[in-house]
Amino acid sequence: MFEGIKKALTRRRLGPPIVVISGLPRSGTSMMMNMLKGGGLDLGIDEIRKADEDNPKGYFELEQVKDLDKGDKDPGWLRAYRGKGVKIISFLIPHLPSDNYYKIVFMRRELDEVMASQAKMLTRRDEEDKRGDDEKMKRNYSVHLKKVNFEMRESMHIDHLYVDYKEVVKDPRAQAEAIASFLDMNLDPAKMAAAVDAKLYRNRS
Amino acid sequence: MFGGIKIDRELYAKIKKFADQEGYSSVDEFVAHALEKEIALFEEAESEEDIKKKLQGLGYIS
């Protein structure tokens, strides 16, 4: 109970939340950004990374985010996104500065599907696949996700909601309702649900 | 034997149930075994660097 009060006071001090859409790359984070945009949330995006075959509706990214793990760069710019949505992949969650309050919508997808989709993306980007063997990478991701879960659960300045990619594709309206309720920012669940394009669920396990 | 860990009543009940079911001699033995397995997973994975390289390749971090 004391923890709850402490957390509530911390959040109050930090002002409106930054809505963070997170997860492993290829777990549905762009789809979620598109849903939130449809629902009426202002997004922090810069359009530097353009839509392509891997993400036909766009990446919804902010280049500055990609430097969050570089300790030498001041992450104070994030404050400008209070009350807005920003895509920040799971790897960078431990680097979120604690002087903001974050509501994280964390996408979950089967690791085999994530890895298959990443492998295709690497091929298209003409990048060497640096993953090592699949089983090892799967273990790495699995450990990584546990660490991030711990970070989100234990941090005073973070609230989180897990959203299953498959469930969104299967029943967008129900998931949109749950997400809108979690964020509590007057989003329109019907418009959020309408932004889901099931045809883009291409790597199925 | 060293140290003591606080866990909530509900989790303890679950642990006790599965420890009995799986034939562990005590809740302590089951918990120690589960934690050893979990820690081994963490130790085994040289995760951060591998993940970082992959994400750089995918263009998600710089």
A162 and A108 in contact (C-beta within 8 Å)?
yes
For residue B42, what pLDDT band results from cuts at 50, 70 and 90? low
Give the span between the Cα atoms of A22 and A29, in whole angstroms: 6
Domain containing B54: what range? 9-58
Q: Flag whether A204 is in a domain.
A: no
Which runs of E-coded beta strand occur in A125-181?
A: 158-164
Interface contact A67-B59, CB threshold 8 A: no
Q: Is B45 a residue whose pLDDT tops 60?
A: no
Interface of B with A in 36-55 (CB under 8 A): 41-42, 44-48, 50-55
Q: pTM to 2 decimals?
A: 0.81
Domain containing A93: what range? 2-194
Q: Flag whether B3 is in a domain.
A: no
* Number of domains present in the structure of chain A: 1
Q: Flag whether B25 is in a domain.
A: yes
Interface contact A130-B53, CB threshold 8 A: yes
Which runs of E-coded beta strand occur in A99-196?
A: 102-108, 158-164
For residue B43, the model assigns a pLDDT of 65
pLDDT tens-digit series, residues A87-145? 999 999 999 999 999 999 999 999 999 999 998 888 887 766 554 578 888 888 988 99
For residue A9, the model assigns a pLDDT of 83
Q: The domain spanning residue A130 has which CATH number? A: 3.40.50.300
For residue A205, the model assigns a pLDDT of 67
> Any idea what the Cα angle at residue A88 is, between residues A84 and A91, rounded to 5°?
155
Q: Flag whether B2 is in a domain.
A: no
Instruction: Find the range with the poorest average confidence among A48-62, A148-162, B12-26.
Output: A48-62
* Number of domains present in the structure of chain B: 1
Q: Flag whether A121 is in a domain.
A: yes
The sign of the CA dihedral A89, A93, A95, A96 is positive
Secondary structure of residue A183 in the 3-state scheme? helix
Contacts of A153 (CB under 8 A, 6+ apart): A160
Interface contact A140-B59, CB threshold 8 A: no
Q: Flag whether B1 is in a domain.
A: no
Q: Is A157 a residue whose pLDDT tops 60?
A: yes
> How confident is the prediction for chain A on average, in pLDDT?
89
For residue A192, what pLDDT band results from cuts at 50, 70 and 90? very high
A47, A176, B48 from A141: Cα distances, Å:
28, 26, 9
B47 and A140 in contact (C-beta within 8 Å)?
yes
Q: Flag whether A203 is in a domain.
A: no
For residue B12, what pLDDT band results from cuts at 50, 70 and 90? very high
Q: Flag whether A57 is in a domain.
A: yes
